[in-house]
Amino acid sequence: MNGKIVFVVPDEKLANIAGSVIRELNESIEVYQGSFNEGLRLAVQAVDDGANIIISRGGTGSLIKKNIEIPVVNIEYGGYDAINSVSKAIEYSNVIGIIGFEDLALAYKKASPILEKTFSCKIFVNHIRTEKEI
């Protein structure tokens, strides 16, 4: 069964990466750029236009999953994401604050003891639940 797949991404950088990968794989996945409520609005519009699978990540993916009836694939944050971002942040300070929705906060909480030891830093993680909390 073939269906229309839409990838809702929060920013231009991820939209460009997704577009490149999709072209390289010769897939027909549409990429929409919008986070939180704008991402949800785009996902709802995509469903109205015939999408039957949405791919997203983080808080936007969770928001979409709670508000639409079709399957939503929520890309989780992983260890590489945590290592990469801490390695960049450590250039500015050895005290790092992470603010994110459940997926991101959980990834960092799990990885923080190792990251703190590896990078000789202190990481504080704040789990937010709504866009307003940002």
29-83 pLDDT, tens per residue?
A: 999 999 999 999 999 999 999 999 999 998 899 899 999 999 999 988 777 888 8
Per the confidence metrics, is the pTM higher than 0.75?
yes
CA dist 33 and 78 (Å) reads 22
Is the per-residue pLDDT at 1 higher than 90?
Answer: no
Average pLDDT, the chain: 92
pLDDT at 2: 60
- Whether 76 contacts 108, CB under 8 Å: no
